[in-house]
Amino acid sequence: MPNLPQAPKAASRPTLELEHFLPYRLSVLAQLVSESLHDLYAGPFDLTVTQWRVMAALGRFAPLTASDVGHRIVMDKVAVSRAVAGLMKRGLVERATDRADRRRSSLRLSTRGRAMHARIVPLALEYEQKLYAALTPEERQTFNSLSDRLFARAEALRL
């Protein structure tokens, strides 16, 4: 093939290759991982992702108010309210109205809730380990530090 001069590419329009597009890739990866994990505890314990996250937050930081939970797990107050309602109905979470400010109430896992939490945590950590097995320890650290920076940037861009 002769090496002809190229015709000038008149303002060639940019193309978007979805499979290499960062927001898309993040979304697909996160969804796959989230669903896989959910499969682990949905069957045995019948929890939604939201409910499990609320339990995880309470298992680690209780007592928390509903808004505290929301901040911890990046979830709006409506979602938290609904998850808590479901968890209370099943006796997994207890609520005590704050005596000083009766608008808020502090939440904590009940005994049953703590027991369930203690059974799920190892499953979750085991899954995480299996996933991390794809990377060396140094690579894990790298990945986490890079994703931290992406996150910070995304927050900054959101205005």
Q: Which stretches of the chain bind DNA, using CB under 7 A?
A: 48-50, 65-67, 76-82, 84-85, 100-105
Where on the chain is the footprint of a second copy (CB under 8 A)?
13-34, 36-37, 53, 56-57, 59-60, 72-74, 118, 121-122, 124-125, 127-128, 130-135, 139, 142-144, 146-147, 149-155, 157-158
Residue 1 CB, nearest distance to a second copy (Å)?
27
Of 56, 59, 52, 47, nearest to 108 by C-alpha is: 59
Residue 35 in tokens: 């669903």
Nearest-Å Rg of the Cα atoms of the chain is 22
Of 27, 58, 64, nearest to 120 by C-alpha is: 58
Residue 81 CB, nearest distance to DNA (Å)?
3
Query: Which residue lies nearer to a second copy by CB, 7 or 11?
Result: 11
**Measured distance between the N- and C-terminal CA atoms of the chain, rounded to whole angstroms:** 52
